[in-house]
Structure 1
């Protein structure tokens, strides 16, 4: 009897997980009508989601953080740096690679076939020190 209950519990958990993940899987397709697409890098160490404005190519990135002394976490978003701002008008999307160590995503323009890799890196500040910014390579095909 205990085995049957455990088996049913596992089915319920997997069913619930599938129902929660199904809308997220369709998010990138449905979000196109809203003007943005979202993607996460494949790295299991990256706690980050990128978004791209489908028309302008503007990239943003945010991640979850929970300071050791806080019970509630916060959403930390990074400012755009070199190459992450508006691009020539196009039809932009995001593609995540299968490389498990990758913490960035590719910004792709479906109209031109050009691609850039976008990622978050520390950039030196003019007064010293550094701050994380979103950087994107120059578009290429």
Structure 2
């Protein structure tokens, strides 16, 4: 009879431990750490405007060069963590050749270790007349 009670108590203990045991996902096993990067291109296809990095939210690296001069391009690197997508919102200001801020645009990056794409944040775009911003795949282009 004693062995039966001990067996029942042991089974209950196993059930309680499995029910209330919580494993920390942020331990040193690397399960939640950065596992890769995705690189995105920002193209300035204008001859009279300079693009300047303004801000970002999310796991994006700061660009090596914050300025993208006319008829050139820059890169923006996003840190990824497996197949779960991360979101990064990026803003660039637009300056004319006199160094006057004449607009801005914001785009959203969604990336994982496997896929990455960009889309424009349409409410947060103000460009000079004749300037168009568009996003396709891993590229954001500004044209005039």
Do they fold alike, i.e. is TM over 0.5? Answer: no
Q: Which is greater in Rg?
A: 2
Q: Which has the higher contact order (CA 8 A, sep 6+)?
A: 2
For normalisation by structure 1, the TM-score amounts to: 0.26
Q: Which is strand-richer, 1 or 2?
A: 2
Q: Which is helix-richer, 1 or 2?
A: 1
For normalisation by structure 2, the TM-score amounts to: 0.25
